[in-house]
Amino acid sequence: MAGLALLRNLYDGSTEDAQRRIADVRRVLADEEFAAGEVTTEGDVATGYRLWSTRYDEPGNLLIAVEQPAVWSLLDDIEPGDALDAACGTGRHARRLVDLGHRVTGVDLTPEMLAIAGNAVPQARFLPADLLALPFPAQRFDLVVCGLAIAHLPEPRAAIAELGRVLRPGGKLVISALHPFQAHLGWHAPFQDADGNRGFIREHPHTHGDYLAAFGAAGLTVRACLEPTLGLAEVAAKRRAFRHLPETTTDAYLGLPAVLVWEAEKTSDPLPSASA
Ligand SMILES: C[S@@+](CC[C@H](N)C(=O)[O-])C[C@H]1O[C@@H](n2cnc3c(N)ncnc32)[C@H](O)[C@@H]1O
């Protein structure tokens, strides 16, 4: 993190600030609390979200804090209809869609996340399914939402083709994902299981070009692209880092784009190769 803070200020930062960052690094290296490091295990999607499910809705998820207002600002302007929350998790967006008057179906790969969604949003229908093979006929939905899931896939094209397939002509797709800038920095989805063990689920850096090519192939036209950034509140929500190194954490992260949010409209048929 100090490396990122130094790099961001390489050309126009002050020598004094750089020296404070380097002093922070020395302090961390000398601190026995950090000397042993920490075990953080990678989990695949099904394992990771099974372990995370009981704590997923705990407050303090800084990505959700940044993503939710942006996604909901788009959802609030869309006419109620038949809505799909794809990779719905514990039902955060599904609940919002119900509140907005939509008839909501939610799907997810992880049964433990779906079970929580079912209890939390009884007005919606939930079923297990993969984003890449949705169990619905073409053009079934007026609106498809997919929050913070697509970057778990190595590439977005096949999922966007499938999400677009189930949209009616004129229907809207709203997608959010970890911003590729953060994924390039090595940010994955971190979690703690019920016993406090730390793990992460991999996130891939899909570029704007990747998304635009996928939307084009799926017959989707971009209507909005939002890139909300990390403010002071979110930087402070990196609690352990901020507690030990507040200035370094702020220099490293403040103002960086955190999430990429797209709204696209189904305007034409997909290209024949869209899901290839
Ligand atoms: C970070 S959570 C987001 C949940 C919810 N959309 C939200 O924004 O709060 C990611 C969810 O995507 C689901 N997921 C990941 N890959 C998936 C796939 N290929 N098909 C269906 N669900 C998937 C996971 O099981 C998990 O519940």
CATH number where 117 lies: 3.40.50.150
CA distance 266 to 109: 25
CA 227, chain centre distance (Å): 12
- Which is nearest to 235 in space by CA: 62, 82, 87? 62
C-alpha 151 – ligand 1 centre gap (Å):
10
pLDDT of residue 27: 87
Query: For the chain, what is the domain count?
Result: 1
Considering only CA atoms, give the Rg of the chain.
20
Residue 96 in domain: yes
Three-state helix/strand/coil letters over 214-259: HHHHCCEEEEEEECCECCHHHHHHCHHHHHHCHHHHHHHHCCCECE
Atom of ligand 1 nearest to the CA of 88: 6
Residue 192 in domain: yes
Residue 73 in domain: yes
Residue 223 in domain: no
Closest residue to atom 26 of ligand 1, CA basis: 89
Residue 11 in domain: no
- Give percent of the chain above pLDDT 90: 81
pLDDT surpasses 60 at 276: no
Residue 235 in domain: no
Domain that holds residue 98: 43-50+62-215+256-264
The per-residue pLDDT for range 180-196, each reduced to its tens digit, is 999 999 999 988 888 88
C-alpha 56 – ligand 1 centre gap (Å):
11
The per-residue pLDDT for range 59-81, each reduced to its tens digit, is 889 899 999 999 999 999 999 99
C-alpha 43 – ligand 1 centre gap (Å):
14
Q: Which helix (H) or strand (E) element contains residue 169?
A: strand 167-178
Residue 191 in domain: yes
Q: Model's pTM, two decimal places?
A: 0.94
Residue 234 in domain: no
**For ligand 1, which residues put their CB under 6 angstroms from it?**
45, 49, 87-89, 92-93, 108-110, 113, 130-132, 147-149, 152, 189
pLDDT surpasses 80 at 35: no
- Give percent of the chain above pLDDT 70: 99
C-alpha 89 – ligand 1 centre gap (Å):
5
